[in-house]
Amino acid sequence: MRQNRPLPQWFRLRTGNTIRYNAKRRHWKRTKLNI
């Protein structure tokens, strides 16, 4: 499953570079809960 809509700005600032790494993976939702 892939997310069509762009990630929120706060999420981008929170994760930083990791967002790109996680965005391509299915664990992007998991990272959201981690932060």
| pLDDT tens per residue, range 10-32 | 666 666 655 555 555 666 566 56
In single-letter form, the type of residue at position 33 comes to L
DSSP one-letter code for 25: S
pLDDT score, position 22 = 55
Find the mean pLDDT for residues 5-9.
66
Listed by start position, the domains of the chain span 8-35
Tell me the helices (H) and strands (E) count for the chain, helix number first: 3, 0
Nearest to 3 by CA among 17, 35, 27: 27
pLDDT score, position 24 = 59
> Phi then psi for 27, rounded to 5 degrees?
-90, 15
Q: Is the pLDDT of residue 1 over 60?
A: no
| pTM as predicted | 0.17
